Amino acid sequence: MRPLDPRLLRYARSARAYVILTTVLGLVVAVLVVAQALLIARILAPAVSGTLGPSPLVAVAGLVGLLAAVVAARALATWTQERFALRAAARTIAELRESVVQHAARLGPRWIASGRGPEVATLATRGLDDLEPYLVRYLPQLLLAATVTPLGILVVFGLDWVSAVIIVVTIPLVPIFMILVGHLTAGAAARRLAVVQRLGSQVLDLLTGLPTLRAFGREIGPQARVRALGEANRRATMGTLRIAFLSGMVLELLTTLSVAVVAVGIGLRLLRGEGIDLEAGLAVLILAPEVYLPLRQVGAQFHASTDGLAAAEQAFEVLETPARPRGTAPCPPLRGSTVAVEGVSVRAGDRAATAPADLSFSFTVPDDGSRGRVVALTGPSGSGKSTAALVLLALHDPDEGRVSVRAADGSVVDLRDLDPRTWWSQITWVPQRPALAPGRLRDVVRDEREARDEDVERAARLSGLDAVVASLPDGWDTVVGRGGSGLSVGQRQRVALAQALLDDPARSPVVVLDEPTAHLDARGEQAVLESVRAWRDAGRTVLVVAHRASLVALADDVVSVWSQVTEPAGRTAGPASRNAPTGATEPSGPAGSGPVPANGTSA
Subset of residues 530 to 559 that bind other proteins, contact rule: CB under 8 A: 546-549, 551-553, 555, 558
Using CB under 8 A, pick the residue from 10, 242, 303, 324 that binds other proteins. Answer: 242
Query: Which 332-371 positions form the footprint of other proteins (CB under 8 A)?
Result: none
Residue 408 or 526 having the CB closest to other proteins: 526
From the CB of residue 297, how many other CB atoms can be counted at a distance below 10 Å?
Answer: 17
Q: Does residue 321 touch other proteins according to CB under 8 A?
A: no
**Binding string, residues 374-413; x marks residues near other proteins by CB under 8 A:** --x-xxxx--------x--x-x------------------
Q: Which residues contact 503 (CB under 8 A, 6 or more apart)?
A: 428, 449, 511
Give the Cα separation of 34 and 44 in Å (integer): 15
Bridging pattern class, strands 374-378 and 557-560 = parallel
With H, G, I as helix, E, B as strand and everything else as coil, classify residue 19.
Answer: helix
Q: How far is the CB of 166 from other proteins (least distance, A)?
A: 12
Give the Cα separation of 419 and 442 in Å (integer): 32
**Binding string, residues 251-280; x marks residues near other proteins by CB under 8 A:** xxxx-xxxxxx-xx-xxx-xx-x---xx--
Phi, psi of 281 (to 5 degrees): -60, -45
Using CB under 8 A, pick the residue from 147, 305, 362, 560 that binds other proteins. Answer: 560
Residue 78 or 411 having the CB closest to other proteins: 78
Residue 55 or 328 having the CB closest to other proteins: 55
Query: Which 58-77 positions form the footprint of other proteins (CB under 8 A)?
Result: 60, 64, 67-68, 70-72, 74-77
- Under the phi-then-psi rule, with left for phi > 0, alpha for psi from -120 to 50, and beta for the rest, what region is 401? left
Using CB under 8 A, pick the residue from 21, 27, 28, 121 that binds other proteins. Answer: 121
Using CB under 8 A, pick the residue from 9, 28, 56, 317 that binds other proteins. Answer: 56
Torsion of CA 198, 203, 206, 211, to 10 degrees: -130
Q: Does residue 248 touch other proteins according to CB under 8 A?
A: yes
512 bridge partner residues: 429, 543
**Piece of the chain touching other proteins by CB under 8 A; list 18-26, 37-45, 336-344, 535-543:** 37-45
Residue 360 or 381 having the CB closest to other proteins: 381
Query: Which 500-519 positions form the footprint of other proteins (CB under 8 A)?
Result: 519
Helix or strand holding residue 597 (H, E): strand 596-597
Give the Cα separation of 403 and 177 in Å (integer): 62
Q: Does residue 594 touch other proteins according to CB under 8 A?
A: no
Residue 227 or 411 having the CB closest to other proteins: 227
Give the Cα separation of 89 and 96 in Å (integer): 11
Beta strands in 365-498 (DSSP E): 374-378, 400-406, 412-414, 427-430, 439-440, 479-480
Q: How far is the CB of 196 from other proteins (least distance, A)?
A: 10
What is the DSSP track for 65-125? HHHHHHHHHHHHHHHHHHHHHHHHHHHHHHHHHHHHHHHHHHH-HHHHHSTTHHHHHHHHH
Q: How far is the CB of 401 from other proteins (least distance, A)?
A: 20
Residue 228 or 411 having the CB closest to other proteins: 228
**Binding string, residues 206-235; x marks residues near other proteins by CB under 8 A:** xxxxxxxxxxxxxxx-xx--xx--xx-xx-
Give the Cα separation of 85 and 91 in Å (integer): 10
What is the DSSP track for 259-293? HHHHHHHHHHHHHHT-S--HHHHHHHHHHHHHHHH
Residue 237 or 338 having the CB closest to other proteins: 237
CB 527 within 8 A of CB 462: yes
**Binding string, residues 459-498; x marks residues near other proteins by CB under 8 A:** --------xx-xxxxx-------xx-xxxxxxx-------
Using CB under 8 A, pick the residue from 450, 507, 585, 591 that binds other proteins. Answer: 585
**Binding string, residues 563-582; x marks residues near other proteins by CB under 8 A:** -----------------xxx
